[in-house]
Structure 1
Amino acid sequence: MNHHPPRCSVIGFGPGLGHAIARRFAGEGFAVLGLARDPARHAALAAERITLAAADAGDPDSLAAALADGTDVLVYNAYRATMAAPSEIDPAALVADFRVNVAGALAAVQSVLPRMRAQGRGSLIFTGGGLALDPTGWLPAASLAIGKAGLRSLAQTLHAELAPLGIHAGTVTVAGAVAPGTAFDPDRIAEAFLDLHRDPPGAFRAEIIFRG
């Protein structure tokens, strides 16, 4: 009898937090799929348990195709940010950012949820941001703050809907700038993602706020 390793898919894979999350889950025996718009840029980060593939977080069809084989843990780490003061954001840019920051997360969830529902288990984990808690912290990032607030709301409403079904939806809200060698070292934050995934049924947390 063949036993396949559990699968973790990381949308928004890159050399920072995405790679750290992938490494941490691979270290726990997961087969990790790292999804990026241009995976060739990150080819050097592929490893024995980390496979890279192409997906555009702003394109629901692209996400559905990339996630067609299902996953046990979905990590949504993609984001898009237009730097402008809130009164100066182009509405079209705000919509484009929101498409990646929130709608892409929902599209990814909807792609993997049918199988998770059938199995009665699975984890949906989102990379949140401290701007969702304090949107005035950095005014030029107002569009991203709106996106992270929307993502936090999506994560918490999915948590309320899906926890009774044994499916864990939650956010790791990172209240600081991710940088190696700091209190917000990506490897330390990746541990919080694994901790959230490990919550037992009946004790699922909707959020971990990582303050360093």
Structure 2
Amino acid sequence: MTQAPNCLIIGAGPGMGTAIARRFAREGFRILLLDINDACIRLTERHLRDEGFQAVAYQVNAADLVGLQALLSQLQHKYGPVDVLVYNAVQYKIGNVTNIAAEPFMEAFRVDVVGALVAAQHMLPTMQARGQGTILLTGGSFADNPLADFASLSMGKAGIRLLAQLLDEELSATPIKVGTITICGWIVAGTRFDPHKIAECFWDVHTREKQHIEVFEVV
């Protein structure tokens, strides 16, 4: 029996994370759900399984880089190689650059950017050995239009954009695809920023023929 491909979603909370999970599950992927909110991902796991999909949930704090690495190793050992890595984790910290404390900012940056770097580094050796794989990073318009009251998130989304560009440059001669989906608005069901519409963008980027970095803007 052929093993289902694996889609790993870090930041698989309600809304967009769940919508991405369901979109890839419909295509036959086993979904590995990772999030800091254990109750939320357990609920998503149950809903996906009730719908006949393969899904497993694990709690993790993306700011805990050692714990994140340990869990990623455990998942690869148990479920096999990851075919699609989706990094959707984010931490909202209200505050501007003149008053945000250093430690909360560093924690947010670990979640927003460094966790994505660690996850990509962890998955890339297996992807490269197999000659296939997709890395999808959730971006935001704060990268282009920062807001003073969301200083850490603005710098985080700028960091995600830069990380995607650097990964793409390094991996340009390989089959590994790197994409970033930039969401230029607040995610609200029933609007043009409906999470299910955005999830369709993630699937579209994954299934495109590889070119230069795939930047998909949801505007």
Task: Extract unaligned runs of 5+ from structure 2.
Answer: none
Is it true that 1:121 corresponds to 2:132 in the alignment? yes
Other-structure match for 2:216 = 208
| Aligned residue among 40, 44, 59 for 2:64 | 59
CA contact (8 A) 2:165 2:213 kept: no
CA contact (8 A) 1:163 1:169 kept: no
CA offsets, 1:104-153, max 9 Å, x none?
10011111111001011100000101100111xx3211110001001110
SS at match of 2:136: strand
Cα distance, 1:80 vs. partner?
Answer: 1.1
Q: Distance in 2 between matches of 1:205 and 1:110?
A: 17
Q: Distance in 1 between matches of 2:168 and 2:137?
A: 11
Other-structure match for 1:160 = 169
Other-structure match for 2:150 = 141
Q: Distance in 2 between matches of 1:172 and 1:111?
A: 21
- The two structures, once aligned, show a CA RMSD in angstroms of 1.3
Is it true that 1:175 corresponds to 2:184 in the alignment? yes
Aligned residue runs from structure 1 range 39-50, under 5 A: 39-46=38-45, 47-48=48-49, 49-50=54-55
Compare 19-28 and 65-74 and name the one that shifted more.
65-74
Percent identity between matched residues is 41
SS at match of 2:28: coil
Q: Distance in 1 between matches of 2:41 and 2:129?
A: 34
Is it true that 1:185 corresponds to 2:194 in the alignment? yes
Other-structure match for 1:24 = 23
Aligned residue runs from structure 1 range 61-100, under 5 A: 61-68=66-73, 69=76, 70-100=81-111
Is it true that 1:196 corresponds to 2:201 in the alignment? no
Cα distance, 1:163 vs. partner?
Answer: 2.8
CA offsets, 1:166-212, max 9 Å, x none?
101111010100010111000000000001111213x254311111x
CA contact (8 A) 2:182 2:218 kept: yes
SS at match of 1:127: strand
CA contact (8 A) 1:156 1:206 kept: no
**TM-score, normalized by length of structure 2?**
0.90
Q: Distance in 1 between matches of 2:104 and 2:214?
A: 29
The alignment of Structure 1 onto Structure 2 pairs a total of residues equal to 207
SS at match of 2:123: helix
CA contact (8 A) 2:127 2:133 kept: yes
SS at match of 2:185: coil
Q: Distance in 2 between matches of 1:64 and 1:72?
A: 17
Task: Extract unaligned runs of 5+ from structure 1.
Answer: none
